[in-house]
Every structure is written in structure tokens, then in C-alpha cells.
Structure 1
Amino acid sequence: MGCEYVAVALRGNQQNMERYRTSSVVCLSKGLGASIGSVIVGAELHCKGKDSEDNFRGWNEAANAKIFSKGLNKIKGLRADVASVETNIVYFEVLKGSQITALKLGKIMKEHGILLMPDSSSRFRIVIHHQVFASDVEYTI
């Protein structure tokens, strides 16, 4: 939960809450639901390095879409064009000769709370929402 939501829930002041933090992530897409991106603000040491990059992925829809498309390509019978993923939208195909049909895949995923949008009889479109984190992407794959 973001600091601004906690401040509202507790009827507190966000500025008072922020002074105890070493960094903040400002997600520019929260109100828009669009893949605009986020900004990390804080001490240089805290905002650099692999750990901060891994944590930041949870806030970045386009990065999660890339992770998702790469993961799809590890699944036999599915194919995504990773190079074409530039936003939070991923298209992927159920290949001919696969052991699963697109219809069956859609039903199975829905049973697990994951909605796929069929684009054709063998192609899906999935949109990585701004509240979807890297851990959600890993669960889906």
C-alpha cells in the first residue's frame, strides 16, 4: 500500500509519513491506468543497484509485460514476440500442433483468476494492469 493511501486511511499527513522513508516511488500511471512509468526518489545509494531495479519492476507495467512475454516463450506451445512488447500489452499465440487449444487455455486461466482476451482463434491479448506486480506475473507463468 502506498504511503498516500495509508495517509488517507489514517487521516494523516503524507509529508509527515514521508520524512521517515529513505526512498519513495511515484507511479505516474496510477490515476490514468496507462503505461507511463514511475520515478524512484531517494538517496543515491538506496536507488541504485540490482535490488532497487528488481523492486521497481513491481511498479512498471512495461517491464512486467516483458517478463511475462519472455516467460511465455519458455512454455511449450506458446509464443510471444518479446521485441514487440513496448507497453503493458502482450500478444501471444497458441502454436499449431500444441497439446492445448486457445479455448481451453482461456478457460483454465479464467479458473485461476487470470483473464485472457482472445484476439483470434489462436492468439491472445493480455494487458498488465498497473496494480500487477512481478510476483503476479511469475504466478501467471
Structure 2
Amino acid sequence: MINFISDTVTLPTEEMFKSILNAELGDDVYGEDITVNTLESVAAQIVGMESACFMPSGTMANLSSILAHCPRGSKVLVGNESDIYIYEAGGASVCGGIVYEPIPTQADGSLSIPDLEKGFPVDKEDSQYALPALICLENSHNRCGGRVLPLNYLREVAEFAAKKDVPIHMDGARIFNASISLGIDIKEITKYVDSIQFCLSKGLSAPVGSIVAGNRLFIEKVRRIRKMLGGGMRQSGIIAAPALVALKSMVNRLEIDHANAKILAEGLSTIKGININPDLVETNIVSFDVTGLNISCFEFINEMKKNGVQFSEMGHNRIRAVVHRHITQKDINDTIKTIESLYCIPA
């Protein structure tokens, strides 16, 4: 099976498996797991933040961050196409009494300054309104096809947030893909936000876990919230060890995934009935639709699975293909040939 469902399907490397056997362990709830402590220190340094906290998942990482930033009864401004808004079960409302205000997401994954401005009441002293306490950005942007937020845009949002006296949290689940795409150090991105979460278990291929990073006081709050949510782990060096390997050895190879994603996009663009612009593929995610084939995305996905290729649905009749280290150029060529044999003749 050629599996384009997600980069979460990546398996640990041999080096990661070996690191588990040699990990120094302790009770992380008491701060005694040396491997976790090392991971958090390394992660904070990489993203240019004071401190970091190891999390079981990106969902818990984002939720803990929002709860740490926002008091009950406040609201968080999120993109209406963001993972936080769509795929994380409304956790901030359920657990924190925080209102989500969905902001229109532009095609490139950005939230325009005028639209963000509309999320702030004209009179913040008017008690009828929930007041914004946080702006959330997603980079790279999943449902927009892995698009990367430009630095000049991040600078504009940071200036806007400073004027409004609200922090910015970045859902950077695939932030390393963004930095590789831009060809810059990740710190050039994170300097425009107050906190960030990033996943270790996607393109970096670690088996489990995410990181939240920010200033020391913020991370202390996050750590307490993690415990409240049931995320306090014991000898979690078992999963921190392969995560360390991922950070040290798996980042630069993401360039290969980006190149293969471009090859896939260009191949799809030659098939009549498939709508895709290869020029918009910036990272490892390829988004396309098959309305021109006169079938639904679900029919296409089901038929392709029967023929050995797995895709996922991304809403609005779009299909997502995520390229990762288990996808080879041969897999991509075989995928294009399978689609051609099932549906159409190349244009």
C-alpha cells in the first residue's frame, strides 16, 4: 500500500529504536527523567525560546497553550480552516470556557489584518463582548495544502498583536517543513510569536509526541495544565529518546519530501480532470480535487485504496496527499500510472 494519508504514518528509524534501549529514565512528573529534560532543553534552544515542555500529542500541546494564555470567558482568534478550530474537538471551549472566533483563512493560510481587527470590539469596556486574549496562526498550513506563512506577514501580525496587547501562539505542527521551504533558521520564524507547538511524530518520524515552547513562566503554566489534562508521564524518556534523534537527524531530509511532493503535483497536473497548481506546492502536502473526473472525492479515495494507494479527504471536495520518508519516487510514478489507468488519458 502506498500511503499518502499523513506523515504521521512514518515509523521510527533504526537509530531511534536503539536510542530507546539506552535512554536514561526517571519520573518525568517529578522532573527526574534526564532524557526528557535533555529533549526539552534542546527543543527550546532550536526554536529560540526560554523553555519547553514535552507533550503526548499536538492536540494537547495546542490546548494547553491556549489555556495557559487565555482566561475563562475570553476568546481566541483562529482560522476557520485551522486544525485547532476543525480537528481538535473544541477543547478550549470544553475545558477552558474559551470562545473560538473563526477568522476567514486566505488561500495561503494567512489571516488578514483587517479580518483580525474585526475580532476586536470597538469598545473593549463594553461588557457584552468576550475579549480576545490570543491569536493563533498555523504554519505550515495543513488544509491550505502545506502553504508557508511569509516572514513579512508574520512581522505584520506581530506588530498588530503588540498594538492590541495580545500574544500569538503558532500551531507549528510542521514548522520544520516551513523553515526548510523558506531556507531559513527556524528562529527567524519563531521570533514573531510568543509560543509554538511542533510535532515530532510527523515528518520527523518519531513515534510519539510534540513540544510546546515559550518563556519560562508560560511553560510552567503549560506543565500544570498538562498534568490536569492527564498528560503527566512517568518514564517518558522511552519516547523522548527517539524524539531527540528526530530533532538531530531528521530535519534536513525534509527537503526530499518537498521535492517528491512537487513531482507528485506535476504528475497529477498532467491528468485531465484533476485540478491542481504545482506552483502552490511549497512543502510536503499536495492538495487537489477531482471534480473534473465527474466523481466525488470519496469515490476517488475509495477506488484508489482498492488499487493500493491511500489518500485522505480535506473538506470542500479536496483530496490530500502527504509525502514522507516512506514515499519514494517509484511510489509516486506508480500512483500516477494507477490514476491514469483508472480514469483518464494524460492531457
Bin the TM-score by the shorter chain: 0.5 to 0.7
State whether structure 2 residue 335 is matched by structure 1 residue 134.
no
- The residue aligned with 2:289 is 93
Higher relative contact order (CA closer than 8 Å, sequence separation 6+): 2
State whether structure 2 residue 293 is matched by structure 1 residue 78.
no
Give the letter for the 1:124 counterpart: I
Distance 1:36 1:124 in 2: 26
State whether structure 2 residue 310 is matched by structure 1 residue 124.
no
Distance 2:318 2:267 in 1: 16
Give the letter for the 1:79 counterpart: N
- The residue aligned with 1:102 is 297
How far the C-alpha of 1:122 sits from its partner, in A, is: 2.3
How far the C-alpha of 1:84 sits from its partner, in A, is: 1.3
RMSD: 3.1
| Partner SS, residue 60 of structure 1 | helix
- The residue aligned with 1:25 is none
CA contact (8 A) 2:291 2:297 kept: no
CA contact (8 A) 1:29 1:37 kept: no
State whether structure 2 residue 253 is matched by structure 1 residue 38.
yes
60, 63, 82: which one aligns with 2:259: 63
Give the letter for the 2:318 counterpart: R
Give the letter for the 1:85 counterpart: V
How far the C-alpha of 1:104 sits from its partner, in A, is: 1.8
Cα distance change, pair 37–140 in 1 and its aligned pair in 2 (3 A):
farther
| Partner SS, residue 283 of structure 2 | coil
- The residue aligned with 2:40 is none
Q: Which runs of 5+ in 2 are unaligned?
A: 1-12, 18-202, 207-245, 337-347
Cα distance change, pair 108–61 in 1 and its aligned pair in 2 (3 A):
same
Structure with the larger helix share: 2
Distance 1:37 1:95 in 2: 36
Give the letter for the 2:330 counterpart: S
Larger Rg: 2
Distance 2:251 2:266 in 1: 21
CA contact (8 A) 1:93 1:124 kept: yes
Identity of aligned residues (%): 30
Q: Tell me the number of residue pairs that the alignment of Structure 1 and Structure 2 aligns.
A: 98
How far the C-alpha of 1:30 sits from its partner, in A, is: 4.9
Distance 2:326 2:205 in 1: 8
- How high is the TM-score relative to the length of structure 1? 0.57
Listed one character per residue, the Cα deviations across residues 78-115 of structure 1 (whole Å, up to 9, x for unaligned) are 0212111111100001134x343322211111112322
CA contact (8 A) 1:102 1:122 kept: yes
